[in-house]
Amino acid sequence: MSLIQEPLPSEYLGLSQDEMDRRIRQNKSRLGSKLVILGHHYQRDDVICYADYRGDSLKLSQLAARERQAEYIVFCGVHFMAETADVLTSPQQKVILPDLMAGCSMADMAELAQVEECWDSLEAEYGKEIIPVTYVNSTADIKAFCGRHRGMTCTSSNAGRIFARLLQEDRIILFLPDEHLGRNTGLEYGVKPEEMLLWDPEAQDRELPVQPPRLVLWNGFCSVHQKFTPDQIDQIRKKNAGIKVLVHPECSSAVVSKADLAGSTEFIIRTVSESPAGSSWAVGTELNLVNRLAKENPDKQVLCLNETMCLCVTMNRIDRPHLLWALDNLAAGRVGNQIKIDPATAGEARLALDRMLEISS
């Protein structure tokens, strides 16, 4: 969900990098333990450097759930992550997103009314237990839907563990909103392609198969990871003998099955960091992270699988001027851009998040 961001006051537009750096650090030390800055790995270098903690979606959810001291949690990431942090923190804590336009196109691909319609159709058709699982890259409404239907959230770090548990029983998993993470995880845990049903909420005259599916996949996708292709893998292997291809499971199953390895953001970081000096990697994920991995591993070759189009533009909306503006507000006792979920939705979303955190702890 992207909201409207008020334009920054003009004084923020002409500041030098040094001036912004000095003032951000000054605000951080003024606010002291009242402030925690969380940063997702896809953030720009000139922003992630201020994060007290950095992580992937799972790690940041765990950190938000543990954080009890700070009054202000400034989230350098996207809207659904700030929503998750608000749900997991106490009512006295305030979660701030420095730019309200930092949304996630995938999270916006599943709307509550559409998901309810899908649920009703599946129940009417199959009369079987359905368990909804949503990737954390979803709105608080969708997490709440999963919470009230005995379902849970997952991240790319723990989707496998959650599938392994849920597939033990005879029921239908409704996976939202990322088709690819759902398909890749399903395939890994033994669901056959013919046991999956792709749900297009816009489809007219839908005909459901007679045989109940084991896995229903919502047809959402990440605009960044969807752009990696099997052909890029062939090309990069041709040009770089011995290179290993490592991709995120938001990529299509054609890409994941062709790659040498696939896994979450934390898995990608760990795999490259722990690989021997001299090894070569083509990484299929967000460009800020790949560039940082290359910088932090100068003894290895780290290339982006496709350098021309894999920057997450919404993650990149969080920049120094917006961070400084948010911190200036807090230092002056004003809370701007607070992300607040209504208590009823937050309560149900929390059920879904807690079920995930319990499985991942």
Name the residues that contact ligand SF4, by CB under 6 A.
42, 78, 104-106, 137, 222-224, 286, 312, 314-315
Q: How many residues bind ligand 13P (CB under 6 A)?
A: 11
- The one of ligand SF4, ligand 13P, none whose footprint includes residue 130, by CB under 5 to 8 A per kind, is none
Query: What share of residues in the chain are helix, strand, coil (percent, to 5)?
Result: 45, 15, 40
Within 230-259, which residues bind ligand 13P (CB under 6 A)? 250
- The one of ligand SF4, ligand 13P, none whose footprint includes residue 141, by CB under 5 to 8 A per kind, is none
Other C-beta atoms closer than 10 Å to the C-beta of 149 total 17
Residue 264 near ligand 13P by CB under 6 A: yes
Under a CB-based contact definition with an 8 Å cutoff, are residues 145 and 116 in contact?
yes
**Is 3 or 203 the residue whose CB approaches ligand SF4 more closely?**
3
Under a CB-based contact definition with an 8 Å cutoff, are residues 177 and 145 in contact?
no
Residue 153 near ligand 13P by CB under 6 A: no
Binding window for ligand 13P (CB under 6 A); candidates: 15-23, 151-159, 211-219, 322-330: 151-159
- The one of ligand 13P, ligand SF4, none whose footprint includes residue 155, by CB under 5 to 8 A per kind, is ligand 13P
Query: Got the DSSP string for 200-234?
Result: -TT-SS----SSPPSEEEE-B--TTGGG--HHHHH
> Which one-letter amino acid corresponds to residue 334?
R
Within 131-150, which residues bind ligand 13P (CB under 6 A)? 137
Residue 265 near ligand 13P by CB under 6 A: yes
| Closest to 294 in 3D by CA, of 305, 304, 286, 306 | 304
Under a CB-based contact definition with an 8 Å cutoff, are residues 359 and 165 in contact?
yes
Binding window for ligand 13P (CB under 6 A); candidates: 26-34, 154-162, 328-336, 349-357: 154-162
3-state SS, one letter per residue, for 129-150: CEEEEEECCCCHHHHHHHHHCC
| Closest to 41 in 3D by CA, of 142, 160, 157 | 157
- The one of ligand SF4, ligand 13P, none whose footprint includes residue 105, by CB under 5 to 8 A per kind, is ligand SF4
What's the min distance (Å) between Cβ of 344 and ligand 13P? 26
* 172 three-state secondary structure: strand
Rg (CA), the chain: 21
Sequence-distant (6+) residues with CB within 8 A of 358 are none
**Is 105 or 240 the residue whose CB approaches ligand SF4 more closely?**
105
What's the min distance (Å) between Cβ of 125 and ligand SF4? 30
- The one of ligand SF4, ligand 13P, none whose footprint includes residue 265, by CB under 5 to 8 A per kind, is ligand 13P
Please give the residue ranges that form the binding site for ligand 13P (CB under 6 A).
Answer: 56-57, 104, 137, 155-157, 222, 250, 264-265
